[in-house]
Amino acid sequence: MKNIKNEMKLEFSSKSTNEAFARISVAAFASQLDPTIEEIADIKTSVSEAVTNAIIHAYPNTDGIVKVRAFLYDNEIEIEVSDTGEGIENIEEAREPLYTTKGNLERSGMGFTIMENFMDELKVESIVGLGTKITMNKKIKKNMSLENTY
């Protein structure tokens, strides 16, 4: 079992303006692991995709609450983004590249594909009518060259 070094929780209204708040908050929290700029960019992009999915798909005609939890381990961050919205009927289909239920939006249905490529692990749990939880993990590689110069 992994040893949790720190954790955070956020809850916010499912308004698109809160996506940036979630992305920046998780990035600031992740900075405790001293990630590279690329690792932070991967985390920010993945959080952005997960939160945007919750805002657009979980609560299409109403406001709801999006929850973000993050856990720091020795060299890893785990991020959960959850909602109590509509849920995903077919998770495997939803994870297919370019699949979208919102063809009228300029989004291209690449959210899960982006999260899978930028994070080390992605788990999707969903029950129709009860909501969805996305769990993402990213290992942070320690910069050995800096450690050995002192």
Domain residue limits, the chain: 6-147
Element (H, E) at 10: strand 6-13
**SS3 state of residue 124:** strand
DSSP assignment of 27-43: HHHHGGG---HHHHHHH
Model confidence at 148, pLDDT cuts 50, 70, 90, reads very low
| Architecture in CATH of 6-147 | 2-Layer Sandwich (3.30)
The predicted-structure confidence for 58-73, as pLDDT tens digits, reads as follows 998 899 999 999 999 9
Catalytic residue list: 49, 53, 107
Read off the tokens for 27: 């990035």
Q: Return the higher-pLDDT residue of 138 and 142.
A: 138
Phi, psi of 8 (to 5 degrees): -140, 155
The predicted-structure confidence for 97-129, as pLDDT tens digits, reads as follows 776 666 555 556 678 889 999 999 999 999 999
How many angstroms separate the CA atoms of 42 and 38, rounded?
6
* Model pLDDT, residue 131: 97
In the chain, count H helices and then E strands: 5, 5
* Model pLDDT, residue 26: 98
Q: Is the pTM of this model over 0.75?
A: yes
* Model pLDDT, residue 16: 93
Cβ-contact 22, 68 below 8 angstroms:
yes
Element (H, E) at 82: strand 76-83
How many angstroms separate the CA atoms of 42 and 77, rounded?
12
